[in-house]
Each structure stands twice: as structure tokens, then as C-alpha cells.
Amino acid sequence: MSLSNFECPAARALDSVGDWWSILILRDALQGLTRFDQFQESLGVAPNILSRRLGHLTEHGLFERHPYSRRPTRYEYLLTAKGRDFYPVAIALFAWGNRHLPDDEVAMRLGDRVTGRVRSVILVDANTGEEISPANTTLLPGPAAGEVTRKRIAFMKALREQTHEQPD
């Protein structure tokens, strides 16, 4: 099922990524894997699924395929700018996963490469330095906002002004 008819960029982003395997492929690629057999070894995924996912991500502009050997021709998959920009999504997901594990189940953490100190990941507005939260953030209509988006923004605003404000 395609979600691309939604105007929400998060929904469209999910559609261009494809499925969970794609996110794990991107996770690996962001750590430097490029070759089919590397992805396969890392993920333990069936070759036909891996091949389909790499094709999907290439079609959607997250990877570029380059030959790295002739006879037989073999390709490596290099992240494009769009693919590399997926990094904050993978990191936000990683940080959320860890935050809700008991300490003794934490198998890996993100660290500062220079100091080795564990990273504490937050999302901020680069303009103001403010941590982004539901309480200080709102949706604005863009140039392509249709009736559905405008209605949605108005509805969400009305909801917030009523009883359902989520505690932060």
C-alpha cells in the first residue's frame, strides 16, 4: 500500500524508505557498508529481499550503484546526499530505543568519537538552539498545502486549545 498520496512529509518519507529492512540497510550504510554481501552478512536477510530493498532505495535516490568489479560485474551501493541525510532519523530511533531499555539490556551506545563520552541526543532548532518539543512547535502550511492539510492544521490547533494538550 502506498502512502504517497498523503501530504505529510513524514508519511512520504516512510513511503520512500519502504520498510523496516530498508531502515536497517541505511543504518549499516551510514556506518560504511557498501556491498551486497556485507549487508547480507550484517542483516541475515534473504538475498531476494535485500536485492529488492537496495533497488527500491536506489530508485528513490538514497543510493547510487557503482561497479567495483568486472567479470563478474559487481556493484557497490553508495549513499547519496539524501541517503546520508537519513542519519538523524536513524540516530533518533537508536536513542529512543536505548532510552527505554533497562540499563543491563543496553548492548551499545553512541559516543563522542574524540572523548569517548556517551552522547545524550536531543533535537534542537538550529536557529534558536531551543530543544524541539510538542509544547513549543506547531505545523505551518507550505506552498503545496491542500484543503486536507489546512483542515488538519486547524483541527490540531483546536485540539491543543481544548482539553487534550499532551503533558511534556
Q: Supply angle C-alpha 140, 146, 149, rounded to 5.
A: 50
In whole angstroms, how close is the CB of 160 to a second copy at the nearest point?
6
Query: What is the smallest separation between the CB atom of 49 and a second copy, expressed in angstroms?
Result: 10
* Cβ closest to a second copy, residue 71 vs residue 117: 117
CA distances from 126 to 57, 136, 140 (A): 28, 14, 18
Residue 14 or 40: which CB sits closer to a second copy? 14
Report residue 118 as a C-alpha cell: 556517551
**Residue 55 beta carbon to a second copy: minimum distance, rounded to whole angstroms:** 19
Phi, psi of 37, rounded to the nearest 5 degrees? -70, -30
DSSP reduced 3-state for 130:
coil
Closer residue to a second copy in complex, CB, 55/76 = 76
Do 24 and 161 touch, CB atoms closer than 8 A?
Answer: no
Q: Which value, to the nearest 10 degrees, does the dihedral of the CA atoms of residues 15, 21, 24, 30 take?
A: -60
Contact 40, 47 (CB under 8 A): yes
CB 65 → a second copy: shortest distance, Å?
Answer: 15
Q: Which is nearer to a second copy, 54 or 79 (CB)?
A: 79
- Work out how close the CB of 111 gets to a second copy at its nearest, in angstroms, rounded to a whole number: 4
* Cα distances (Å, whole numbers) of residue 160 to 49, 115, 137, 149, 166: 42, 42, 12, 16, 8
Residue number, 30 or 55, with CB nearest to a second copy: 30
